[in-house]
Amino acid sequence: MSMEEGGTKSIKEKNVDLSEYLIDRLKQLEEEYVRLKNLYKRLEDEKRFVETERIRYEREVRRLRSEIERLRSPPLIVGVISDVLEDGKVVVKSSTGPKFVVHTSQNINPEDLKPGARVSMNQQTLAIISVLPPPKDPSVYGFEIYDKPDVSYSDIGGLNKQIEEIREAVELPLLKPKLFEEVGIEPPKGVLLYGPPGTGKTLLAKAVANQTKATFIRVVGSEFVQKYIGEGARLVREVFQLAKEKAPSIIFIDELDAIAARRTSSDTSGDREVQRTLMQLLSEMDGFDNRGDVKIVGATNRIDILDPAILRPGRFDRIIEVPLPNYEGRVQIFKIHTRKMKLADDVDFRELAEMTEGASGADIKAIATEAGMFAIRNEKTIVSREDFIKAIEKIMKKDKKLPEIKGVMFI
Ligand SMILES: Nc1ncnc2c1ncn2[C@@H]1O[C@H](COP(=O)(O)OP(=O)(O)OP(=O)(O)O)[C@@H](O)[C@H]1O
């Protein structure tokens, strides 16, 4: 009897155990379900994120591919249409001389194809790629023109001697031409600024233009000879023409070395193109009156490779060195580029200047901007000494990282 009782109990107990077990198991499964559901949601989110990242990278790859394509594409030749034939072909005179019968791109509106129109052509097939705007439009050549640049002498740090020299050579003749006549001397025609990159050469030229209310025309030497083959000499002519029309004006030729490097023995068509451009520049400089109100300021990082012809009297006859700033200069440049920043009391320009031996004005500007960025990253609006120190480390390290390759200047 007792056995039987005991047996029934155990069956009951077993049932209780089983139902407890099942409830437990159910709970576990429910929890597992919730966990998997969350995991699924997280994976879905991650999938979406990865998907958008993929699309972003694909877009970036496409952009870089087209950039590579663009950089690889050969320069175009400039020509002038002499006749439009009935079959849609066109007779063009290339800027290097001979005439050709060529095809045109389908993207060109046939109405734009008129005799006299300037066009760009593929180097190999000479097919017309586009019709260029009329030559008088200075933007065609990428000339930068400012009626009155907004840079003043007070924006330039550590170049007092250079400012004095450029004022004497460019500003005085523009503002007081009579003075030179009375004394009976010819004012300098052109001034050459030379020195390492980012030291303020462009800034100096802009400040003189501002002070004399002259139009500032900036052209880049390498663009004269690289953008449109066979056009360098004509571009030089056009810049001088434009400068005369906009007088008083200052022509600032950046990267002068690209068109005025000493002649080498090689005789490629590229060299001949550079030669023609330089000849045109020399003849323009010789041809105009130095008492006039057009002044030329050239800039180069490589005075050592310039053709001596360009430095002869009556051409670039004042040469001004624009070196890397010394300690005092760096203090001043730090002051200039932090004028609009809110600085903590622990920022000491003297200390910063000591830490930035060898930095250019452009480097110091970059340090100030970077210090501001560090402050923003830490959600501060006041920039502290620590932000500057981090910025100096970052910018000065970047400078040092540049590879050293003999004979090559990194600009
Ligand atoms: N002496 C300086 N005082 C204040 N700012 C300077 C000075 N030098 C350079 N900078 C800053 O660096 C920037 C670049 O300088 P700038 O274009 O005048 O150099 P550059 O000598 O013409 O260089 P590059 O040879 O590369 O053309 C300027 O916009 C300016 O903000």
Running DSSP on this structure, what letter comes out for residue 170? I
Given a cut of 50, whether residue 124 has pLDDT beyond it is: yes
202 labelled ligand-binding: yes
The pLDDT mean for the chain works out to 84
Cα(46) to centroid(ligand 1), Å: 46
- Cα–Cα distance, 69 to 314 (Å, whole number): 44
pLDDT at 2 over 80: no
Q: Can you give the residue ranges of every domain in the chain?
A: 76-132, 139-321, 327-401
Does 201 contact ligand 1 (Cβ within 6 A)? Answer: yes
Tokens of 391: 């910025």
Query: From ligand 1's centre to the CA of 22, what distance in Å?
Result: 79
In the prediction, which pLDDT does 126 show?
86
Ligand 1 close to Cβ of residue 330 (< 6 A): no
Task: Give the other-Cβ count within 10 Å of 369's Cβ.
Answer: 13
40: helix, strand or coil: helix
- The minimum-distance atom of ligand 1 relative to the CA of 157 is 3
Asked whether the predicted pLDDT for residue 222 surpasses 60, the reply is yes
175 CB burial (10 A radius; 0-12, 13-18, 19+): middle
- What 3-state class would DSSP assign to 25? helix
337 is in an annotated binding site: yes
Contact 148, 208 (CB under 8 A): no
State the pLDDT at residue 123: 83
The percentage of the chain sitting over the pLDDT mark of 70, rounded to a whole number, equals 88
Q: Which CATH code for domain 76-132?
A: 2.40.50.140
Confidence at 200, pLDDT banded by 50, 70, 90: very high
In percent, the amount of the chain with pLDDT more than 90 equals 39
Ligand 1 centre distance from Cα of residue 254 (Å): 12
**Nearest by Cα to 256 from 305, 321, 207:** 305
φ/ψ bin of 292: left (φ > 0), alpha (ψ from -120 to 50), beta (otherwise): beta
Q: 82 φ, ψ to 5°?
A: -105, -25
pLDDT value at position 404? 41
**Confidence class for position 291, pLDDT limits 50, 70, 90:** low
* pLDDT tens readout for residues 172-193: 888 888 888 888 888 888 899 9
Give the CATH fold of the 139-321 domain: Rossmann fold (3.40.50)
Q: How far is the CA of 196 from the centre of ligand 1 (A)?
A: 10
Domain made up of 327-401: CATH architecture: Orthogonal Bundle (1.10)
Confidence of residue 405 (pLDDT cuts 50, 70, 90): very low
Judge if the beta carbon of residue 300 lies within 6 A of ligand 1: no
Measured distance CA(33)–CA(397) in Å, rounded: 53
Predicted confidence (pLDDT) per residue in 11-53, tens digit:
888 888 889 999 999 999 999 999 999 999 999 999 999 999 9
Pocket test residue of 161, 162, 203, 210 for ligand 1, highest count of atoms within 8 A of CB: 203
